[in-house]
Amino acid sequence: MNASDTPSELHCVFEIQRAAYDAAPFAEWDERRGRLERLRGLLNNNEAAIEAAIDSDFAGRPRIETQIAEIFPSTVAIRGALKHGKRWMKPRSAGVSKWFLPARAHVVPRPLGVVGIIVPWNYPLFLSVSPLVTAIAAGNRVMLKMSEFTPAFSELFRQLIIGAFRANEVSVITGGADVGTQFAALPFDHLLFTGSTSVGRKVMAAAAQNLTPVTLELGGKSPSVVAPDYPIDHAVQRVLAGKLLNAGQTCIAPDYVLIPRTALAPFVDAAKRQARGMHPAGIDDVDYCSIVNARQYDRLLSSLQQARTAGTEIVPLFDGAQSDDRAHRLAPALLIDPPPNASVMSEEIFGPLLPVIPYDSLKDAVAFINAQPRPLAMYWFDNDRRRVEWALKSTHAGGVCINETLLHVAQEDLPFGGVGASGMGHYHGRWGFDTFSKLTSVFRQSRFNGVKMFLPPYKPRVAKMLRLMKRF
């Protein structure tokens, strides 16, 4: 389906998938495996085209970053589902109260039906394929709504899916915000949305009209905390690796850094060295990504200017030109202790601007984090195990990396998801399989059982037996 299609055609695609599910509500493993293998073939045979399309949409996205952050983890997700999916779908044993023995119980993962996935623009391949893999492994039919801000990739992916899947298996929907609104209002059996918190609220409201359960992968201001005495050079290297990937256009990018006040100057000096070492040609470096479009570029420039007007010290991290309006290139910069009401401190940045906030004690740093909405990720740099455990128990985030950034999202055995304003639910690997399954409880009564002893008319022995049972 493309942008010219009407709402009735959108509903038609949904009804095609619904009818297919109703006709065969439980896909066996061979069928699920076949779909996963077709998806793997789609990726393997079209890597160059995928890289070119995403590069075109960004007007400058390094192909190696697309390999690292999109193609590689997508391939890993498919391989994991192919390896473990048959085991995931097996019935799972469950205990039975001793008073009901010799009955048995188990849990059967069943496909939900038709799943909707709304894909953002920042990682259009990975954030399509990752949930798609587990939805397929769980036996569902799937509709994906692609972002209008990545038109080249969205159209390429639509054509690739058409070539690999029947419309009643997987369908790709393109179009603008109006199509997205209609998509979210369809009566899916589950809807997964990745995007901003503000749009997530609208998606959840639309889904509520159909009582559609949702998984919301949102964003927020993910903090990095550098503990006292932690090696500054290593902290800077890992923070900037996470911040400068995709020019900061990552939902789990470090959004601000909390640094000991005495370590502020060394942190700034190390950040300059690290950024210039990573991208010696500055904003013209072939390994540095552009901002996706004029709208996002102008938003970032406005945030930068607002902070500057408020008296915030701006520390450029690249030599030479700091921006290129035509190419939507923006150099990274540190913003030293901006005021709380600055947009860089009240909104998710989604770009290469990095506020640095000095603190006097780790308790102050934790209090600062806890005063904000719960973030999608937190990055804690510390070699003191006791302090790390204290930090984990004292804060609340969707996911945490210790002495690292971003890499928790690449672990298929970890659930990925937010908490509070940063989202709800989770997916990846077995966790995604369970999200897109109905875990059906099954109780199997034994031929010989004592249930009939508790049928009315109730005799005095029933009360006696209940008193006895409550004692054990």
The string of pLDDT tens digits covering residues 193-217 is 999 999 999 999 999 999 999 999 9
* pLDDT: which is higher, 186 or 463: 186
Confirm whether 448 is domain-assigned: no
Percent of the chain at pLDDT exceeding 90: 91
Instruction: Judge whether 390 lies within some domain.
Output: yes
| Average pLDDT over every residue of 261-271 | 98
Residue 455's pLDDT band, with cuts at 50, 70 and 90, is confident
In a domain, 450, yes or no: no
Three-state secondary-structure class, residue 440: strand
Q: What is the CATH number of the domain that holds 146?
A: 3.40.605.10
Model confidence, pTM? 0.94
Is 66 in contact with 55 (CB distance < 8 Å)? Answer: yes
In a domain, residue 124? The reply is: yes
Q: Is residue 15 domain-shared with residue 45, that is, in the same domain?
A: yes
99-121: average pLDDT = 96
**Structure confidence at residue 454 (pLDDT):** 85
pLDDT at 2: 55
Q: How far apart are the first and last CA of the chain?
A: 61
Determine the 3-state secondary structure of 316 from DSSP. strand
- Neighbouring CB atoms inside 10 A of 305's CB total 11
Phi, psi of 141, rounded to the nearest 5 degrees: -90, 150
Q: What would you measure as the largest C-alpha separation in the chain, in angstroms?
A: 91
In a domain, 47, yes or no: yes
- Residues linked to residue 416 through DSSP beta bridges, in sequence order: 427
The percentage of the chain sitting over the pLDDT mark of 70, rounded to a whole number, equals: 99
pLDDT band at 7 (very low <50, low <70, confident <90, very high): low
Confidence band for 302, pLDDT divided at 50, 70 and 90: very high
Q: Is residue 81 part of a domain?
A: yes
Question: What angle, rounded to 10 degrees, do the helices at 29-44 and 72-88 form?
Answer: 170
pLDDT band at residue 6 under the 50/70/90 scheme: low
Q: Are residues 378 and 242 in the same domain?
A: yes
Clarify whether residues 34 and 155 are in a common domain.
yes
Task: For the chain, give the mean pLDDT.
Answer: 95
Provide mean pLDDT across the span 340-349.
95
> Do residues 46 and 157 both lie within one domain?
yes
203 shares its domain with 287:
no
For 78, the token pair is 């498919």
Catalytic residues: 217, 251
pLDDT value at 44 more than 90: yes
Give the domain CATH number at 386.
3.40.309.10
Please count the structural domains in the chain: 2
State yes or no: pLDDT of 437 exceeds 70. yes
Q: Say whether both 22 and 145 belong to one domain.
A: yes
Same domain, 206 and 228: no
> Distance from CA of residue 273 to its chain's centroid?
31
Expressed as residue numbers, the domain containing 276 is 223-417
282 & 189 share domain: no
Based on the fold, state whether residues 163 and 118 are members of the same structural domain.
yes
Residues 287 and 166 in one domain: no
- 2 located within any domain: no
- Strands 141-145 and 170-173 turn out to be parallel
184 and 131 inside one domain? yes
Going by C-beta distance under 8 Å and a sequence separation of 6 or more, which residues neighbour residue 284? 320, 321, 329
In tens, the pLDDT along 132-190 reads 999 999 999 999 999 999 999 999 999 999 999 999 999 999 999 999 999 999 999 99
Domain match, 230 and 104 both: no
Confidence of residue 342 (pLDDT cuts 50, 70, 90): very high
| pLDDT given at position 3 | 42
- Give tens-digit pLDDT for 82-92: 999 999 999 99
Residue 459, pLDDT score? 86
Looking at residue 451, its pLDDT comes to 85
Looking at the domain assignment, is residue 70 inside a domain?
yes
pLDDT digit string, tens, across residues 365-421: 999 999 999 999 999 999 999 999 999 999 999 999 999 999 999 999 999 999 999
pLDDT computed for residue 4 by the predictor: 44
